[in-house]
Amino acid sequence: MDRLAKIWVSGVVQGVGFRFFVNRLASQYGLGGIVKNLPDGRVYIEVEGDREVIQAFLKDVRVGHPWARVTDIQVEWLPFEGKYRNFRITY
């Protein structure tokens, strides 16, 4: 079942290439959405796709980029909206 997931990632996730890592990872999984840095030091990800695929994506996000250190991931699951055709980094 397709879903929309809003994801907040905490830890050492800014200034280490984490958004670029997430962008590549989401593209590999065939997911659409966005990733951006937040002013509070977290990274926000919004992704659409099959729930099981998103859950696999989240496992890889938790492992993170080699220079990142993910300490927490919060996920809000919402109904699929179909608003993304690809994945991109936003600012």
Distances (CA, A) of 69 to 62, 72, 85, 90: 9, 9, 29, 21
CATH number at residue 72: 3.30.70.100
pLDDT at 1 over 80: no
| Active-site residue flag, 42 | no
The residue from 3, 23, 24, 37 that is catalytic is 37
Residue 59 in any domain: the answer is yes
Asked about 37 being catalytic, the answer comes back as: yes
**Mean pLDDT, residues 28-57:** 98
Residue 11 lies in a domain: yes
- Is 66 part of any domain? yes
Number of domains in the chain: 1
Averaged pLDDT, 32-52 = 98
Give the pLDDT band of residue 37 (cuts 50, 70, 90): very high
Domain that holds residue 41: 2-80
Q: Checking DSSP bridges between strand 43-50 and strand 32-37, what pairing results, if any?
A: antiparallel
Assess if residue 15 is contained within a domain: yes
Q: Is residue 85 part of a domain?
A: no
Residue 50's pLDDT is: 96
Q: Which of 34, 33, 45, 35 is nearest to 8 (CA)?
A: 45
Catalytically annotated residue among 3, 19, 23, 42 = 19
Residue 89 lies inside a defined structural domain of this protein: no
Q: Are 64 and 13 in contact (CB under 8 A)?
A: yes
**Which pLDDT belongs to residue 40?**
98
